[in-house]
């Protein structure tokens, strides 16, 4: 049974994870549906190709959506970001840390998660502390 091919449009990677995420999804679902990814020079070019019927979907970041949204296009789906798994290593559970414990943590996602767990924690990045003799 032949199915129509979906054409996904995307720009090159701009460090926002969109290109990597859509490539990963298409690779993982290659047996589920027939799709191809085409790269465009800019997001504006991708939207022109979408409007012309050359592409079926445009993969874009929320930032791109805010810059390019108009009455001709709509969001039809979202892909949740999958970050690498982070592991908290400690002698005990974070719940058992002393009140107002200071934790060195450089990643914004981990900082949000830790503060969600314990609002009293004092989170600092490695750049905020001075290490003497290191």
Which of 68, 94, 114 finishes a domain? 68
Closest CA to 12 of 43, 54, 34: 43
Q: Is residue 12 domain-shared with residue 60, that is, in the same domain?
A: yes
| 62 shares its domain with 89 | no
Strand partners, 7: 36
The structural domain count of the chain equals 2
SS3 81: coil
Distance CA 60, CA 12 (A): 11
Q: CA separation (Å) from 9 to 1, 24, 26, 27, 28?
A: 25, 14, 12, 15, 17
Whether 10 and 62 map to the same domain: the answer is yes
Residue 90 falls within a domain, yes or no? yes
Same domain? For 88 and 119 the reply is yes
Backbone angles phi, psi at 63, to 5 degrees: -60, -45
User: What does the pLDDT average to over 39-56?
Assistant: 95
Range of the domain at 53: 6-68
Asked, for residue 10, whether it belongs to a domain, the answer is: yes
Calculate mean pLDDT across residues 72-90: 77
pLDDT tens track for 89-105: 777 788 888 999 999 88
> Is the whole-model pTM more than 0.75?
no
Q: Residue 134 — very low, low, confident or very high, per pLDDT cuts 50/70/90?
A: low
């Amino acid at each position: 049974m032949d199915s129509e091919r979906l054409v996904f449009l995307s720009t090159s990677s701009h460090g926002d994870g969109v290109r990597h995420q859509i490539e990963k999804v298409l690779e993982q679902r290659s047996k589920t549906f027939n799709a191809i990814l085409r790269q465009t020079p800019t997001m504006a070019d991708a939207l022109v190709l979408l409007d012309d019927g050359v592409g079926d979907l445009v993969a874009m970041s929320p930032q791109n959506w805010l810059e390019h949204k108009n009455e001709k296009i709509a969001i039809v789906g979202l892909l949740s970001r999958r970050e690498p798994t982070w592991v908290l290593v400690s002698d005990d559970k974070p719940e058992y840390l002393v009140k107002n414990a200071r934790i060195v943590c450089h990643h914004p996602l981990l900082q949000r998660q830790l503060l969600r767990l314990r609002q009293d924690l004092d989170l600092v990045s490695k750049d905020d502390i001075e290490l003497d003799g290191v």
